Amino acid sequence: MTRPIIVDAEEQVACPKCNRRFALSEGISRHAIERHAETLALSLEKQKRTLEAEAAATAKRRAEAEYEVRRRSLEEAIAAKESQLAKSRTEELQLRRQMRELEEAKKSQELDYQRRLDAERKKIEERAGAAALEEITRREAQWKAQLASAQREAADLKRKLEQGSQQLQGEALELSLEALLKGAFPLDEILPVAKGVNGADLVQHVRSPSGLRCGAILWEAKQTKAWQQAWLPKLRHQQQEIGAEFSILVTAAMPKEAREPFLRDSDVWVARFDAARPLAESLRNGLIEMQRLRQANVGRSEKAELLYSYLCSPQFAQRLKSAVDGFATMRLELEAEKSAMTRIWKKRDAQLARMSDGLLGIIGDLQGIGQETLPALEGIAMLQSAEALEA
């Protein structure tokens, strides 16, 4: 296979026999040069066409490969869509089948219910006369038993609601006491005892009009039905730990021997809720006066002792009793008014019950006379019984 080369015409060559050097154009005829140049041009053109054909073939293969990738991707996407569509169609068919089954079951249930209702109606019609009377009597006894049970449950529920939870009542009494003290003594600092400390509820730091701290009063609230003597030593011990001058136990259940709204027992003041404010005012004034005396008479502790003895004396307790008599009188009047309203309400309730019983008796008599000719009265009697049961 021949291979053309490109050589410059001025290239120097040597004679193989005599070694004489001369230009290539001198040894080769112009015709031969032109012939070789034409051959070289044809060869270059052929190489160019070959390269262009190879490039086209490469581009075609690349385009075909990209087309194949896109085609496969589209086929996979179409296949996924078709699979999802087939799944949706299957689920829709299942849902439609379930809906049809539910509708058929509902129709069957309604038909079965209607059949049972017709059979029950037929049985009732067959048990007319004595059997119907016996059924009515039985149902009446049943309704009366249900009514009595419902009334007992309502009474129990009413009693529980009125009494409430002992803990909630105690918290309510504590909050009421705190609100009472803050409203009555805005200059003092009323603070709750830290949670987790069993016993006292509030600490009242007494301050004079000038803001000087004069002492502390320890408070505890008890909302119970029975008095317990064990409360007093515990409160007294907490008073000593806190360093308060006085401790007051506000309780709904006073000691059995107590006839007054407050008393002093084991160095602890015990008072009803309505006597808490006047007792606090008296003790507070005593603390302020003691502080004033201490400031005015430094070194005269004997007067403070005398004042403390006076606060612990029966005369001081009598004066406190006089201060709370007005509160006790108002409490008694309020209880009397409450009792009167309760009696009026009970009287009217009994009258309504008698009227309702009479009306039901009339309906029963009419039903006994008219039997099946007065079906509307059965609905009225049922309505009255339902209302009684709800009451």
For the chain, give every domain's residue range.
12-87, 127-162, 166-342
Least confident of 156-170, 259-273, 274-288: 156-170
Give the distance from CA 329 to its chain's centroid. Answer: 45
**Residue 179 to residues 182, 191, 205, 283, 334, Cα–Cα distance (Å):** 5, 11, 15, 18, 21
Contact predicate 293/307, CB 8 Å: yes
Least confident of 113-122, 150-159, 286-295: 150-159
Angle between helices 166-184 and 276-296 (to 10 degrees): 40
Tokens 């009732």 locate to 124
* Residue 387 pLDDT: 47
State pLDDT tens for residues 92-101.
888 888 888 8
**Most trustworthy range by pLDDT among 251-255, 301-305, 314-318:** 251-255
* Residue 160 pLDDT: 64
Tokens 């307790």 locate to 317
State pLDDT tens for residues 316-353.
777 777 767 766 777 788 788 888 888 888 887 887 77
**Residue 262 to residues 84, 283, 307, 320, 322, Cα–Cα distance (Å):** 86, 13, 20, 9, 11
* Residue 298 pLDDT: 61
Is pLDDT of 390 > 50? no
Burial label for 110, CB within 10 Å (0-12, 13-18, 19+), is exposed
* Residue 186 pLDDT: 92
Q: Is 335 helix (H, G, I), strand (E, B) or coil?
A: helix
Contacts of 200 (CB under 8 A, 6+ apart): 193, 218, 219, 220, 235, 238, 239, 242, 247
Least confident of 18-32, 289-303, 352-366: 18-32
The 3-state DSSP composition of the chain as helix, strand, coil percent (nearest 5) reads 70, 10, 20
Contact predicate 214/290, CB 8 Å: yes
State pLDDT tens for residues 107-151.
777 777 777 777 777 777 776 666 666 777 777 777 777 777 777
pTM here is 0.39
What integer best gives the mean pLDDT of the chain? 77
- CA triple 293-294-296, angle to 5 deg: 60
Strand partners, 189: 205
| Interstrand relation of 21-23 and 213-222 (parallel, antiparallel or unpaired) | unpaired
Strand partners, 207: 213
Contacts of 150 (CB under 8 A, 6+ apart): 389
Token pair in block for residue 373: 């000719």
* DSSP-assigned states of every residue in 240-301: HHHT-SEEEEEESS--TT--SSEEEETTEEEE-GGGHHHHHHHHHHHHHHHHHHHHHSTT-H
The amino acid sitting at 259 is: R
- CA triple 287-253-216, angle to 5 deg: 15
Contact predicate 185/280, CB 8 Å: yes
As a whole-number percent, the residues of the chain with pLDDT over 90 amount to: 14
Token pair in block for residue 229: 């003597």
Alpha carbon distance 259, 235 (integer Å): 22
Token pair in block for residue 286: 């005593």
| Half-sphere exposure (Cβ direction) of 270: Cα atoms closer than 13 Å | 25
**Residue 49 to residues 5, 44, 54, 55, Cα–Cα distance (Å):** 19, 9, 8, 10
Is pLDDT of 391 > 60? no
* Residue 130 pLDDT: 62
Cα end-to-end distance, the chain, whole Å? 125
